[in-house]
Amino acid sequence: MRGPLDITRELLAAEILHEIVHLPRRIDSAADLPAVLGLPPASCLAVRLFDADDTLVAALLPANATPATSAIARAMRARAVRPTRPDRVSAITDYHPSLVCPVGLPTEVRTVADTLVRDQEVVFAATGDGSTALQIRTADLLSLVGGTVADLVEPGAASPAARHVDETAWRSAPMVAGAMLRR
């Protein structure tokens, strides 16, 4: 299984500033990140995999959000979209299915990020390990994983807290890992 060390190696090779944050308590799902980190759900992302026709799609979403499959279908120009089975998620990504990191996904997996994710300056994501999280600038993450940005969460589908962005929350955890690469 992939984990924080694999993620750090890939991000350092790409010269991307990031930090692996040790969580105060273990999580079972990316949906637990906001509560454990004390951040709004929009600042924490979850990766959900979907089968869209013959394509695998990784949807990057606010941690508490559920995407509309019709929105994924529109974004990917697919006729049929359904969640990928957990055992298949693990086999494809080499991550635990509820702790998938957007970094290190196989090249055949296409990525689409919700606009709420794109609108964050910094996001936190699962690392495949329930005791750590990845902190990364959103622009760097989206540049690395490629893909598109679309409205995946229907209005009202995420809690109001997911739509509220605390502009100062991410500043409380400075990113230091890899900082020498930017000097």
Residues in contact with 96: Cβ distance below 8 Å, sequence separation at least 6, in sequence order: 1, 90, 128, 130
Lowest mean pLDDT among 13-22, 69-78, 171-180: 171-180
DSSP structure class, residue 111: E
- Report d(CA 42, CA 64) in Å as an integer: 8
Q: What confidence tier does 147 reach under pLDDT thresholds 50, 70, 90? A: confident
Asked if pLDDT for residue 15 goes beyond 90, the answer is: yes
Q: In order of start, what are the domains of the chain with their CATH numbers?
A: 4-159 (3.90.960.10)
Q: What confidence tier does 161 reach under pLDDT thresholds 50, 70, 90? A: very low
Which residue, 51, 22, 46, 19, is CA-closest to 34?
A: 46
Q: Which pair of structure tokens corresponds to residue 4?
A: 């924080």
Convert the pLDDT of each residue in 60-95 to its tens digit. 999 999 999 999 999 999 999 999 999 999 999 999
CB 41 within 8 A of CB 63: yes
Q: Which pair of structure tokens corresponds to residue 89?
A: 């998620």
pTM of the model: 0.84
CB 125 within 8 A of CB 44: yes
CB 102 within 8 A of CB 133: no
Phi-psi region for residue 156, left (φ > 0), alpha (ψ -120 to 50) or beta? left
Asked if pLDDT for residue 168 goes beyond 60, the answer is: no
| Amino acid at the residue 70 | S
